[in-house]
Amino acid sequence: MIGEFEIVLITGMAGSGKSVALHALEDAGYYCVDNLPPELLMAFIELEQKHGASKVAIAMDVRSATSLPLVPQQLRQLRDTGFLVQSLFLDSSTETLVRRFSETRRLHPLSRIEASDQHRALAEVIELERELLGEMRETAHILDTSMIRPAQLQNYVKSLISTPTVQLTLVFESFAFKRGVPLDADFIFDVRMLPNPHYEARLRDLSGLDEPVVSYLQCQPDVRAMTADIETFLSNWLSSLARDHRSYVTVAIGCTGGQHRSVYLVEVLSSIFSNLWPTLRRHRELDGRHPAPK
The Cα–Cα gap between 62 and 65 comes to: 5
pLDDT band, residue 292 (cuts 50/70/90): very low
Residue 56 and residue 83 in one domain:
yes
Are 115 and 199 members of one domain?
no
- Same domain for 127 and 182: no
Do 280 and 203 belong together in one domain?
Answer: yes
The amino acid sitting at 222 is D
Q: Which residues constitute the domain of residue 221?
A: 169-289
Domain boundary among 140, 161, 182: 161
φ and ψ of 175, to 5 deg: -155, 165
**Domain count within the chain:** 2
First CA to last CA across the chain, in angstroms?
31
| Region 37-43 average pLDDT | 94
pTM equals: 0.82
Asked if residues 38 and 68 have their Cβ atoms less than 8 Å apart, the reply is yes
Considering only residues 62 and 291, tell me which one the structure prediction assigns the higher pLDDT.
62
- Percentage of the chain beyond pLDDT 70 is 93
CATH number of domain containing 23: 3.40.50.300
The CA–CA distances, whole Å, from 140 to 5, 92, 293 equal: 19, 15, 27
The pLDDT of residue 294 is 38
Q: Which of 167, 253, 156, 264 is nearest to 214 (CA)?
A: 264
Contacts of 129 (CB under 8 A, 6+ apart): 13, 14, 62, 108, 109, 110
Question: Is pLDDT above 70 for 230?
Answer: yes
> DSSP characters for 245-260?
T-SEEEEEEEESSSSS
Q: State pLDDT tens for residues 83-117.
A: 999 999 999 999 999 999 888 888 888 876 544 45
**Domain ends where: 145, 161, 177?**
161
DSSP one-letter string for 21-32? HHHHHHHTT-EE
Express each pLDDT in 165-214 by its tens digit.
Answer: 667 899 999 999 999 999 999 999 999 999 999 999 999 999 999 999 99
Is 63 in contact with 108 (CB distance < 8 Å)?
no
